[in-house]
Amino acid sequence: MSNSQVHPVDVILPVRQLVTFGLQHVLVMYAGAVAVPLILGSALGLTSAQVVTLINANLLTSGIATMIQTLGFWKFGARLPLIQGCSFIALAPMIMIGKEFGLTEVFGAVIAAGAITIAMAPVFSRLLRFFPPVVIGSLITIIGISLMPAAAIWLGGGNPDSADFGAPSNLLLGLATVIVTLVIYARFSGFIGNLSVLIGLFVGSLIAAAFGMTHFGQVSSAAWFELSPPMAFGMPQFSLMPILVMTLAMLVIMAETTGNCLAIGKLTGKTITQTTLGNAFRADGLSTMLGGLFNSFPYNAFTQNTGLIALSNVKSRYVVASAGAIMVLMGLFPKLGALIAAVPTPVLGGCAVVMFGMTTVAGIQELSRVTFEGTRNAIIVAVSISVGVLPMSFPALFEHASGTLKLVLESGIFLGAITAIVLNILLNPQSRREPVAPAAELAD
């Protein structure tokens, strides 16, 4: 069968392109991928050696999780270009559990919540009928806007508490990266044009190195090979309360996975069915269970990479699968991970400004297909997006919330999705009678 007869998601590119496009995805998500173990380790007072173990385990399991989600087997994996990383949604609950019960209870709760997610996948996937275009468009727009604070933090230098955060040198480096990325994207087409982000990252890093803003000390100190053994911190412990807290986090993660699948479906032209979502949820659950066994955490699709797909127009799931393979190598060979980590955060921020904006544009394009005249869709979009960006625009708004309520309120994507769904049901009751795409099984 020729490539013209194969859906773009299922096209297998030449090895050289798989590796280069895959590396582009890894560079985009790396900073976010290692942030969870770094923050958790610091909050729980772990030693630097223990944090390194968490990071290596996280990279290894992220790669395996990505390959499960993209390649799939049986009823596991959406078979979409979804790159998997540790979920920030679960970070606050894990810190709470770790401080109260200990790290082994964290891993036990992660394993149990992953198993519960697998069991709940068929039920949660049936909610697809509540995502008509007005909800999908609002949700994708919220995803794009909600990513911008991360771009701003990277652009400023990565650490808002640092004395040089927002320094002119950081901002100029980010601006140079934006310019290079845009020039490559505008002046070249095909393979080179699709690599605009990778080239921007590379040129930005060269500029940083020329001005002494790149540091390679971690590369020389990193081990050549290191394999994190399962249950390195002890046998996982299982208690009811930590499991319930982590299960609630997984419910929010499943809501975000729904949004990410719908966003990727729109970008790639792939129809998202109940079966697609169910398979994606099962993959999240299985990867989360593996995370708990191998000293890592809950997983979901990273929204950072949706913008890269929109910008590069490379839709193959095998590209993202190759990114998973690269992450596995990074987890096994820490020097490789240290080399990739040497990319300055302002350079990442420059590329992120372009990519995250492309995610927002994808949402706007979806909303352009929605009928506004003579309907109540305008108020649905207005309120949903406004509510969805509240946690991002002013996080202190919900600082008095605690426990379960805080977990829900801190997720703008979850808040926006719930608001859009409820308003659509109340204001567009006829949408509930619209036919839902059949839950057709995906081909292996």
What pLDDT digit, counting tens, does each position of 39-66 carry? 788 778 787 778 778 888 888 999 999 9
- Domain definitions of the chain by residue range: 12-429
Closest CA to 103 of 178, 190, 40, 13: 40
Distance CA 295, CA 110 (A): 10
Distance CA 157, CA 120 (A): 40
Higher-pLDDT residue of 432 and 254 is 254
What values do phi and psi take at 415, rounded to 5?
Answer: -60, -45
253 is written with which tokens?
């993660």
What values do phi and psi take at 404, rounded to 5?
Answer: -60, -45
Q: What is the pLDDT of residues 249-293, one digit of tens each?
A: 888 788 778 888 988 998 898 999 999 999 999 999 999 999 999
pLDDT number for residue 337: 66
CA atoms within 13 A on the CB side of 205: 17
pLDDT number for residue 107: 95
296 is written with which tokens?
């890592």
Number of other CB atoms surrounding residue 160 within 10 Å: 10
pLDDT number for residue 19: 92
* Whole-structure pTM value: 0.74
Distance CA 101, CA 238 (A): 10
Angle between helix axes 334-341 and 317-332 (nearest 10 degrees) is 110
Angle between helix axes 15-43 and 345-367 (nearest 10 degrees) is 110
pLDDT number for residue 290: 94
pLDDT number for residue 280: 95
Closest CA to 354 of 229, 175, 226: 175
Contacts of residues 32-36 at CB distance under 8 Å and 24 or more positions apart, as own/partner, are 32/85, 32/88, 32/150, 32/302, 32/304, 33/58, 33/59, 33/62, 33/85, 33/86, 33/302, 33/327, 34/58, 34/59, 34/341, 35/86, 35/88, 36/85, 36/86, 36/87, 36/88, 36/90, 36/91, 36/297
Strand partners, 85: 300
In the chain, what is the greatest distance between 2 CA atoms, to the nearest angstrom?
A: 64
Q: What is the pLDDT of residues 365-424, one digit of tens each?
A: 889 888 888 889 999 999 999 998 998 888 888 888 876 677 678 778 778 888 998 999
Q: What is the pLDDT of residues 121-134, one digit of tens each?
A: 998 888 877 888 88
Distance CA 42, CA 410 (A): 21
